[in-house]
Structure 1
Amino acid sequence: MSGDDRQNEEDRQSELAREHKERQAKRAAAQTAKSRRNTFIGAGVAVVVVAGGIFAATTLVNKEPSKVSAESTPSASASASTAPSATPSVKTGPVTCTYKRETGVPNKFVGLPGKKPNMKLKKMTIVTNRGTVVIDLMTDAAPCSINSLSFLAKKKFYDNMKCHRLVTPDVSGVHLLQCGDPLAKADGKNPTDGQGTAGYVYGDENTDISLSKGVVFMTQAGDAMGQNNSQFAISLSDENNQIGSGYNVIGVVSEGMDMLLGLATSGKDLIVNEADITGDGGTTAPKNPVIIKTITFK
């Protein structure tokens, strides 16, 4: 083999080694992203075995906790919110929403929303026993989600409902409040907390927004698509950006963030539900309950 041939062979081997290393790095990054999403939060359909039977239930994904440094934990006096890192996917022209009845999960059914959303809705106000939260809505980007929430609010579906999950960074590596399970007890004893819905599901929309502090989104299991229901969550930290996009964002908190950040400063303020039916370590609810009194839209 000539000197040129040897050099060409060495160059080819170097190029193959570089490409192999790049492929490994891409696979590792993809696996990390999938793992982070699957350890986050959601309410999607899963099959659970209970008392010798099998039934479909919505499941909260909460597997191996990851740690976040104390320096990254928001304080109770943090700023109101952080702007989303992407522009909402605004829909143009007439919008028709489709909602599908789902009877295989624990639910409180009060009917199906209408197909024509009110595109003029701009604000969602949640009055709780701990304070009031105002959300600026992305109605042009998530009309069917907001149409669903507005319908349920008018039916008083959320009235006197306990928010069943509050997570702090030292517990799960993320920081959020989740509400919307009509059957939740939030007492650390009810095994099906986080399973309940309004008895229907609908498709995804506005999923390109990352979950910065203050972003409000509909919850699904980490690997679910098109299974949005009555449950929603409020991101309480920019650390949640590590999960990326993919969840159905409805708006951003404009008032009440200081109150939300003060609900729990660490896992010591939470009740762990070891009896959670999913077997993923249990949901964590605030020791001082967060109870929705009313939700209104305008």
Structure 2
Amino acid sequence: MSILFSALPLLSIDSWSIPLLIIVAFVGGGILLQYTFRKQLPDELQNMGKIENSHIFQLNREIRYSIFTGLIQGGTIHVLSYILMKTSYDLRMVKMYGWIFGFSQPFLLNFGYYLLYLNQQNEYLKKETQSFQQLSKVTEKKTLQDLVSPHFLFNSLNTVASITLDEPKKAVEFVKKLSDLYDFILQNNENQLIELKEEVEIVEKYCFLIQTRFGENFQMELNIPARYYHSLIPPLALQNLVENAAKHNAVTKKRPLRLTIGVHRDFITIVNNINPKNTFQNESTNLGLNYVRTQFEQFTNKKISIEKSDNQFKVHIPIIYPGDI
């Protein structure tokens, strides 16, 4: 390269006018040819059948095309410089520069094209990743809503129907708390975290609905000190665990369900006695626990732990403080 640049002064400003015009014309022509080539290339690639072969085909085609274009441009500059330029010019240097520009232009253009292509692909993948994350969050929220909605709503309507005549005031209160629960779901559909105080309030309303249905056969003790109320928790995390306990255990006079929620060493602990049902175990238990686990993993390194014995089931979920995120 040093030899090439040291040779530049051999040609005067006037002597550069004709070869410069020739080089500019054919470089522009090469760009136009490559643009036309690229415009037709995607349709051909779509007919290749296999994506993995398409990339190899495109690379081989680009290399062959660059060499072919370089030969045409370099050869044409070589011939035209010989025909158009005066014999006093240094044709050897002009021809050499013609071959250099003729071959380098297609490869440099391809290199620039692939840099632009990679940048566009990177931006596209970023947008796709963001879209996937948003869709994943919406799907997770939808899954939790589905866990709360169908069977629970059906049972709640049956409960209202059964108490309306004998206990109209309690029926009105039941409907009000049921409405508050679903309003809470709608209001927090897009929220990833809420204050623990809000979650405690909705759990109390939810437990009222369960107790109205089962009476004294369902007992819940909530012991969360007020100093933890400003900590954070994914919406419906506690409610979902309470629902799992009520859904997957027998709740009868002979086998009442007892549930305790408390705090121990920066973990909220949900404990219930085990009253196995004599029915096929629904896999939605794992679905609910997996949802809660996934939500917490986004905001804390502390893990959810589960302890199960013959007669007791415990879930420990970490407390998330505002300074932790």
TM-score, structure 2 as length reference: 0.24
TM-score, structure 1 as length reference: 0.25
Asked which structure has the greater RCO (Cα within 8 Å, sep 6+), the reply is 1
Higher relative helix content = 2
